[in-house]
Amino acid sequence: MKKSGEPADALRARILEKSEEAEAFDEAEAAMAQAEEALKKKQDNETHERALSESLKLKEDAVEKQAEAWEKERMLLDKGRQELFAVEDTITRKRDALASQLMPLQRVFRKVERNAGDKALAEAARAYADAPVDAVLADDGVRLESTMKAAKAYVEDLKQDAVIDELLSGKILQDASALKREEAIREEKRKSLAPFYEQEARLKDAKKAKDEASSEFQRTCEKTTYLLNEFEGKRKQAEEKAAALLGAKVILKA
């Protein structure tokens, strides 16, 4: 409101003196009440706006600090990722090579499964037929030996026989052991990278919270402008009604 104006309480007292002029009095009184209500809404929203501004500043500071810390760690994460990718590539190549060696025996293992009189042998043969690489990696040696000896009776060619001999000799198991070591390294790499991923996620969450706070602050500022315009309109109406009742120009002051 204009600083050179008249306080609302003082104007209300002057209006009350004209209460005998019922219609004009009611209009002026209602206009005053609406102006005061509009002023309160604007002031309440301004208080909310200031609180949001302080909250937004805190969130912006938090993002800035986390971003600075993340820049120091990001290079380590990138390096760790490259190392992990290299290990995963090695694992893929070794698994593919092992699968290629064992694939010729799939038909043999199915025959062992169908004809096995022992439940454990049938389950072992099924495991080797379904997922030969995983079966070799999970084997304790005893199951492998019994399964391969049973498979000997169903070989169809020399290639299959040679693969079984390599399994029984331990050569393929050595390759499997090397693959196990690579998979263990992969798990350690993944664990070592977990804190970096968590830090990266925290930074993303902080940025999201800041953006949401910024949007809310912007909406509140826009609402303050709207309420200010609404109040100015109500104030003008109150001034006009009071002036008509009092017969003199009236300027309200907050």
Q: Look at residue 134 and tell me if it is in a domain.
A: yes
Looking at the 3D structure of the chain, how many domains does it have? Answer: 2
For the stretch 233-251, what's the b/e string if a residue is b when 16 or more beta carbons lie within 10 angstroms of its beta carbon? ebbebbbebbeebbeeebe
CA distance readout (Å), 230 to 35, 46, 241: 9, 14, 17
Residue 253: which H helix or E strand, with range? strand 252-253
* Token couple for 144: 């492998």
Kindly state whether residue 102 falls inside one of the protein's structural domains. yes
Last residue of a domain, one of 203, 219, 236: 203
Arithmetic mean of pLDDT over the chain: 86
Q: What is the pLDDT of residue 234?
A: 87
DSSP 78: H
**146-160 average pLDDT score:** 88
Rounded to an integer, the average pLDDT of 77-86 is 92
Q: Two tokens at 136? A: 């070799």
Judge whether 42 lies within some domain. Answer: yes
pLDDT at residue 33, rounded to an integer: 86
Check whether residue 136 and residue 43 sit in a common domain.
no
Confidence tier at 168 by pLDDT (50, 70, 90): confident
pLDDT given at position 21: 60
Asked if residue 1 belongs to a domain, the reply is no
Instruction: Tell me: pLDDT of 4 over 60.
Output: no
**Burial annotation 36-58 (CB, 10 A radius, 16+ → b, else e):** bebbebbeebbeebeebeeebee
- Asked if the structure places residue 11 within a domain, the reply is yes
Q: What percent of the chain has pLDDT over 70?
A: 90
Q: Which of 93-102, 105-114, 139-148, 224-233 has the lowest mean pLDDT?
A: 139-148
User: Rounded to an integer, what distance in angstroms lies between the CA atom of residue 142 and that of residue 146?
Assistant: 6
Is this prediction's pTM over 0.75? no
Per-residue pLDDT, averaged over 228-248, amounts to 81
Whether residues 248 and 192 share a domain: the answer is no
Same domain, yes or no, for 79 and 55?
no
CA dist., res. 186 & res. 69, Å (int): 26
Cβ density class 12-24: b for 16+ within 10 Å, e for less: eeebeeeeeeeeb
DSSP state of 21: S
158-169 and 142-151 are packed helices; what angle lies between their axes, rounded to 10 degrees?
160
Residues 24/192, Cβ–Cβ less than 8 Å: no
Range of the domain at 29: 6-71+210-253
Whether 115 and 150 map to the same domain: the answer is: yes
Same domain, 133 and 154: yes
| Inter-CA distances, 220 with 21, 44, 224, Å | 41, 11, 6
3-state secondary structure of 3: coil
